[in-house]
Chain A
Amino acid sequence: MAEDEALIAATALVKQFGDFTAVDGIDVRVRAGEAFGFLGPNGAGKSSTMRMIGCVSRPTGGALRILGLDAAKDGAAIRARLGVCPQQDSLDLELTVLENLTVYARYFNIPRKVARARAMELLDFVQLADRAGDKVEPLSGGMKRRLTIARALVNEPEIVLLDEPTTGLDPQARHLVWERLFRLKQRGVTLVLTTHYMDEAEQLCDRLVVMDAGRIVAEGSPRELIDRHSTREVLEVRFGNDPLDGFADKLDGIGERVEVLPDRILVYTGDGDAAAAQVHGRGLTPSSVLVRRGSLEDVFLQLTGRTLVD
């Protein structure tokens, strides 16, 4: 992609904290109007990358251009055109719901009247209009998140950065957030988000990168990544409480790849039913058989491993 098409262009971007390298030379291009995701386990460098894009963290190395400006030099001018929804809601607990938006709007030099009108509109958008005069503290987690998202939109940003937008929310709240984000995307706002929820990435992202230990290990649309790094279907078989040590040999040759886990065996294959038939054909009698579509989660675990990171 040509440099001038990209709203965000990172080249060999590095972030170090002392001896620790959080981001280790990544190249990223985000186009106008797309929803772009950073996936990765905790500590992969997603948040550090987001903070650099948000111009609240200075890159240690490499180049970062956002909206055609240099992040290292024009931080304030870039921030004026970004909306930021940080990982932890940083709402002002001493202010009301409405004031959280109007006070924030003043930071962008938005006239009082405009700020108020826009704030009311946004509260409507995130379904909090009836809580406008309330304090922030008693709001539920989902409401706080929505308010944070509304606050990120108060300056009508061209790019909205969302760091784990639905972490810690219940299913209803998550779906509401997704739906609002989808509407933003429809309006042409560029979304950049981090997540470790695969369903979230599949729901929202046009394109994503998988990060691990500060590097990008894969890049593409969710579908492309599944095609490239996993299989169309996955067969999951269980054998009650039997130890599964010897099964790798017994299932060898079925599907493209067999992975033995402590509780179940995964067979990566283009055709799950056929693979299941082969398993039975070898005289094995699993206690349960499940055929499912290959998912981004399979890609993720394949690329970043199953070891617990933190």
Chain B
Amino acid sequence: MVTTLIFPRAMSRLDHRASGALSVTARNLAAARHAAYWWVLLSGFVEPLLYLLSIGVGVGRLVGDIALPDGRLVTYAQFVAPAMLAASAMNGALAETTMNFYGKLKFMRIYDATLATPITPMQVSVGELIWAMCRGGVYSAVFLVVMAALDLTTWGWALVALPVTLLVGFAFGALGMGLSTLLRSWQDFDYINVTQFGLFLFSGTFSPPSDFPVPLQILIEVTPLYHGVALLRAITTGSPDWTVLWHVAYLVALAVAGLTMASRRMGVLLLK
């Protein structure tokens, strides 16, 4: 690579850091190979698919077509499908970086041993997120295949949407990981679950935010899932415009903030 030639030292350092993070990912892969993990994986994918079929297709018959921000009309199933895709990316990432991460942090105490090696908290966070992305990526890929097969998007736009779902997952994963470091016990997960479900219902998923009163509409547009939904809807319906940049920027900022928080807090908790 050209960059390797120009910045040999910087690149080798980056390489080293990346391989550190990947070794954390590799640990999860090794663990997953034993566990009944693959069944758990399946459940996270089935849920949004059920929503898509019952509400998108079923309720969609009653609702009729719906207008996109640019005025184009799409079927209700086409409207709901990208939202379920975004929700699935969110759920997959959060499942990994809240419950599972918390368990490893506080109960299995996996990272106590990890951090006694050259691995840093930031590498642990990134490695865990990459793992969450692997899981989220599988969900999204399967979901996109279903969407394309049901004619809810084209194969081409589905291909564009896949990396975007990873960004959505990355942002939510980072946020979830950051928040998990603040939780005191398993009871606190109720807060995350309620918030997650609220986001799922209101983030422009089943109806456009403009259907709600203005204060609620503003609230919706501040929360993260709305940006994931709007971004993926613009792509799978084939109508991206410049606003996608804003959504991407929002999600990248969220990912960076979440990662920073997660690694700092991990340092505070484990490197006393």
Contact = CB atoms under 8 A, between A and B. Distances in A.
B30 A77 contact: no
A165 interface: no
Contact of B119 (A91, A99, A107): A107
Contacts of B30: 95, 99, 103
A54 B118 contact: no
Given A94-B34, A107-B20, A86 B116 contact: yes
Contacts of B272: 17, 51, 57
B109 A90 contact: yes
Contacts of B24: 107
B61 interface: no
B113 A109 contact: no
B271 interface: yes
A93 B108 contact: yes
Interface string B112-130: 1111111110000000000
Interface residues of A, number: 31
Given A79-B117, A90-B112, A56 B31 contact: no
Interface in A84-141: 84, 86, 88, 90-96, 99, 103-104, 106-109, 135
A107 B31 contact: no
Contact of A56 (B19, B20, B26, B116): B116
Given A80-B117, A92-B113, A103 B108 contact: no
A58 B115 CA distance: 13
A12 interface: no
A290 interface: no
B70 to A, nearest CB: 48
B195 to A, nearest CB: 28
Contacts of A94: 31, 34-35, 108
Interface string A49-80: 00100101110000000000000000011011
Q: Which bracket fits the contact residues of B?
A: 20 to 34
Main secondary structure of the interface of B (DSSP, over half): helix
A120 to B, nearest CB: 16
Contact of A77 (B109, B110, B118): B118
B27 A103 contact: yes
A108 B108 contact: no
A96 B34 contact: yes
A107 B116 CA distance: 10
B196 interface: no
Given A80-B118, A107-B20, A109-B23, A92 B108 contact: yes
Interface of B: 16, 19-20, 23-24, 26-27, 30-31, 34-35, 108-110, 112-120, 270-272
Given A56-B115, A76-B120, A94-B35, 18 more contacts: A54-B116, A56-B271, A57-B271, A79-B117, A80-B118, A82-B116, A90-B112, A91-B113, A92-B110, A92-B113, A94-B31, A95-B27, A96-B34, A104-B117, A106-B23, A108-B117, A109-B118, A155-B117
